[in-house]
Structure formats: structure tokens, C-alpha cells
Amino acid sequence: MPELEFRISGVRAVAKGLTPLLQFAVAIRNSSVETIRSILLHAQIQIRSPGRAYNPREKANLIELFGAPEFWGRTLRNCLWMCADTTVGGFDREIEANLFVPCSYDLKFAATKYFYGMEEGEIPLLFLFSGTIFYSGGDGRMQTKPISWNKEAAFQMPLSIWKNLMEEHYPNSAWLYLRRDIFDRLYAYRRANGDVTWEQTIARLLPDTTLTELEHREAVA
């Protein structure tokens, strides 16, 4: 029966896509003698949060996700990023398949908060694979087999790939998620003050304090 091994061999941003999209290359190796006709492949992608170090600013950015850093021994754990599916064509021994992963810039999602809060380095990912293998049996007839539950692959994704992808689609921008009643009040405030842009409205409401001063207050607190 087929026995498959999986490895993530690379990642790139899909150029000029209508939406932000990453393409992961999945190297698949068949160690059995059976010919693989096709694979319905499912991947659950997790962020291995405990798998890297964090500088002080990154720690401050992740408090909303994991709580205060002094409690990270209990709270810092893997979190789900995305689930993705693909169909793999037939092969005998090895093949490379493409797994397309859409990316969101909406900060209401935990994964986006994590990526946005990082400043440098790599993002440790874990791919958990499942699905169905269609293969030729000894008599030539097609047979099926589920992918073993323990098939996984770790991968270090450069943070710059995600950052550059977001900058391409949302240059010098960020998303703000508001409850509708709060948005209505803010919209009314904007109209009342005759602001042309949302930036003018937000700037009017913010105190005259620099970002560096705010970061210093957080560090002291």
C-alpha cells in the first residue's frame, strides 16, 4: 500500500493576484511500489508560536493573543492559521504540488494579529496533512487509502514574504475592525467636523503623543 512523505520545499507570493495569495510547494515522496493516480490533499496549517524567540516590542504586540509574557509558559501555544486543499496528479515516486493559501489583512483574525505583530525573522509553521490516496493495486484496479493521520511537515516561512504581500495589496495601510454602533458614531463625528479622510478623523481624536512615547509607557507598565 502507498506510504507518502511530505515536505514543504518553498513558498512564494502569487504575483499580481486579485487577492493576497501565497503558494506553498509541497514535495511528496511515494516509498511504495504502487503507482499513485491522484491525491485529494487537505492541509491544516498551524503557527507554531512557541517555536521562535520574540523581542520586547513583539511581546507587547502579542499580549492580546497570549496574555502577559510572564504567563507564556502556559498560554503560548500553536494556533490555527488556515486550512487548504489541492488535488495532486498521478506519479510513481516523487511529485511537487502547489498549495494555495489566501491571506487576510483583517486584524480580527488571530493569525493576522500574529503576523502583523512580528517585526523580523521567520514564522514557524506546521502542516498537518490528511486526505485520500487513489492508486493502482496489484491487479491494476484503482484502490483508495486515507493519508495516515500522523503525516506532517514543519516549515520556517520568512516573515518578509507576508509583509511584502500585504504591502503590495494594501500599501501603507492597515485595517480597523469596529462594532457597527461605534462606527456609526465615528462616522457622525467625521461628518460633523468636515473631515475629508478617516486619517483626519482619527488624528483629531488621538492625543499629541508619539508612538515612541506610547511604547515607553507600555514597557514601564
- Number of domains the chain is built from: 2
CATH number at residue 79: 2.60.40
Average pLDDT on 191-205 reads 88
Residues 71 and 142 in one domain: yes
| Same domain, residue pair 126 and 189 | no
- C-alpha 46, offset from chain centre: 8
**Threshold 0.95, pTM exceeds:** no
Residue 175 lies in a domain: no
Percentage above 70 pLDDT, the chain: 94
Residue range of the domain that includes 153: 4-169
- The pLDDT of 165-189, averaged and rounded, is 88
Q: 208 vs 220, which has greater pLDDT?
A: 208
Average pLDDT taken over every residue of the chain = 90
Q: Quick one: average pLDDT of 162-186? A: 89
Q: Smallest Cα–Cα separation from 61: which of 123, 122, 115?
A: 115
Comparing C-alpha atoms, which of 20, 176, 44, 198 is closest to residue 108?
176
- Domain match, 202 and 105 both: no
One-letter amino acid at 105 equals: Y
What average pLDDT score do residues 184-211 get?
84
